[in-house]
Amino acid sequence: MREHGRKFVGGLFILVVAPSPDGKLRGGVICGKKYSKKAVTRNRARRLLWESFRMLKTNVKIAHLVMIPRQRMMELKQQEVQQQMQYLLKKSGLLPVLSNLSE
């Protein structure tokens, strides 16, 4: 990931994207004690990122992803995390940008 990955920094988490050598979409969350000393808080951050990824993964292009939560994510709800993930995935080129031509 460090050698071939590209980092996209958002206000709530960091997304590292690398090409997939095995042709599969894979994702991982890194949340250490630097984020919070409490395991409950770290697990909540992991769950928020996983759920946001799960909701969007049907449209995501094949790649390997690593998500690293930031301190600002502690008080937020899942919808706000999902919006940030959608933004970063579009910025990275993994999520197609759909234009509303019918409007």
Residue that is written with structure tokens 């993994």 in the block: 94
Domain count, the chain: 1
Residue-level pLDDT at 47: 96
CA separation for the pair 10, 88 (Å, rounded): 7
Residue (of 39, 51, 40) closest to 13 by Cα position: 51
Residue 16 domain-assigned?
A: yes
**Residues contacting residue 17 through CB under 8 Å, at least 6 positions apart:** 5, 6, 8, 63, 64, 65, 92, 94
Residue ranges making up the domain that contains 43: 6-81
Residue-level pLDDT at 98: 62
Q: What is the pTM of this model?
A: 0.86
Q: What is the mean pLDDT of residues 78-96?
A: 93
Would the pLDDT of 90 be above 90?
yes
Residue-level pLDDT at 101: 44
Would the pLDDT of 85 be above 60?
yes
Residue-level pLDDT at 4: 83
Residue 97, Cβ density class (10 Å: 0-12 exposed, 13-18 middle, ≥19 buried):
exposed
Domain with 29 in it: what CATH number? 3.30.230.10
